[in-house]
Chain A
Amino acid sequence: MFEVTAKKKLGDFSLDMRFDSKAPVTALFGPSGSGKTSVANAISGLLKPDEGRIVVGDQVLFDSKARINVPVHRRRVRVIFQESRLFPHLNVRQNLLFGRWLARKSAGNEFDEVVHLLGIEKLLKRRPRTLSGGERQRVAIGRALLADPAALLMDEPLASLDQARKQEILPYLEKLVAGARVPILYVSHAREEIERLAQTVVTIEDGRVKSVGATIGEPQQAVPANRVLNLRS
């Protein structure tokens, strides 16, 4: 589902990634500063690798050799950022429909379903600044889901929340992940979240892939990072 080869020099830091995951939910695990967000940005298109190839599902989004670089707004890789990034000048409903409106889809049943799934029925008319951190993050998840995604990219979606808020959101994420029809990349440095949500874990350190396996860290056997893995079955 995610096939990533990316090299990028960012000042003193260099990214040299290669992984391939066929799992519906892939986790990208690593300490802060290991390059997780750079990989996420390379996939969403916010960061252009110096060289490499990025395939999500069956779509080639970037290929330096073939000179392919699909612009961010056409990738349909919907990102849930750590800091929500809701639009402060729009209310919750308008935020939820922002991407959907651009995808020229009407609100429809899906809107009601997503709003119900995330339990945000009562927030629709509120402004983002009046929401709690957990509520904001649920709205951000809804906004990504409703934007006709080809893939979902969750970049530390719980990292800025306290423990109670995390426990509030995790069940929603589990439901969502279980029912998702699109590949999901879950970026985190929290073991618990990853163990609950992902089937394949790509562990990275210092800009390099350390292991790819069913669990964090050392896999059962040393696996070359570039080997195609499908550990779900």
Chain B
Amino acid sequence: MDWFTLSPEEWDAIRLSLRVATVGTLFSVPAGLFIAYALARWRFPGKFLVDGLVHLPLVLPPVVTGYILLLLFGRHGPIGAFLYERFGFVLAFRWTGAALAAAVMGFPLLVRAVRLSFEAADRRLEDAARTLGANGITVFFTVVLPLALPGILAGFVLAFAKALGEFGATITFVSNIPGETRTLPTAIYTYTQVPGGDGPAAQLAAVAVILSLIALVVSEYLARRMSARIGG
């Protein structure tokens, strides 16, 4: 076996993983920003409940998260049935479902990082912007968001890395279908279960290490560049 060539199945798993993690994380950003902002700045009844729900995937066994997703978003689940009947949109056992699982599992990491950067933002700059004529929304987009960008980026990369490695919730919710839901981790798992699968499993593990390292290096680089630009 050649160490440097990957089989089409392996490429499939890598491409799928990147797509699932990218789509899942990107779609979770708007909701993540909103919830992080609400948790950082607003007082509202049931805040502790929202906080708890967001963090639940961090502490629950991933299999349980996947099972809950299946109950809610499966074809017969309340949300899944609605999506299917209204829009013909199916999540269970599709790559879109894998993206949803990845998003849910990465969400707490995203929200935590973004929330911290919203809390750390200098409120006096926001006051200055208001006296210069900026309403709440303008202040958010011209001052709060740009200043929180390094934290948002850090949260994005963490969530992306988590999404890339997500296994338990994914396999429970969308199973392990080659070309559809067989992501990098589930592919590695599958290879370890068959005779002669050690080689491909090791190759894919190496790919996972490289992808994670790239994500970390890129985020570190961008964060440094941004803090240098923004300055203290």
A and B held together in a complex: yes
State the A residues within 8 Å of B (CB).
44-46, 71-79, 81, 83, 85, 87-89, 98-99, 102-103, 127-130, 143-144, 147-148
In the bound complex, residues from chain A placing their C-beta under 8 Å from that of B231 are 88, 127-130
A72 touches B130 (CB 8 A): yes
Q: Is the interface of B mostly helix, strand, loop or mixed?
A: helix
Query: Taking CB as reference atom, which chain B residue is nearest A83?
Result: B124
User: In the complex, what's the smallest C-beta–C-beta distance from B101 to chain A, in angstroms?
Assistant: 35
User: In the complex, what's the smallest C-beta–C-beta distance from A54 to chain B, in angstroms?
Assistant: 14
- Best-surrounded residue of A73, A127, A130, A148 (most CB of chain B within 10 A): A73
Which one, B129, B131, B147, contacts A88 given CB within 8 A? B147
A73 to B137, CA, bound (A): 11
User: In the complex, what's the smallest C-beta–C-beta distance from B132 to chain A, in angstroms?
Assistant: 4
6 A/B residue pairs, CB under 8 Å, sorted by A? A44-B131, A46-B127, A71-B135, A73-B131, A129-B231, A148-B133
A144 to B229, CA, bound (A): 24
A143 touches B132 (CB 8 A): yes
- Best-surrounded residue of A44, A79, A87 (most CB of chain B within 10 A): A87
Which one, B133, B230, B232, contacts A73 given CB within 8 A? B133
Query: Taking CB as reference atom, which chain B residue is nearest A76?
Result: B133
B130 touches A87 (CB 8 A): no
B193 interface contact, C-beta 8 A: no
B190 interface contact, C-beta 8 A: no
Which one, B128, B138, B146, contacts A102 given CB within 8 A? B138
Top 6 A-B residue pairs of the complex, sorted by shortest distance between their CB atoms: A129-B231, A99-B132, A102-B133, A85-B128, A72-B130, A89-B146
A147 to B134, CA, bound (A): 11
Which one, A71, A75, A78, A81, contacts B124 given CB within 8 A? A81
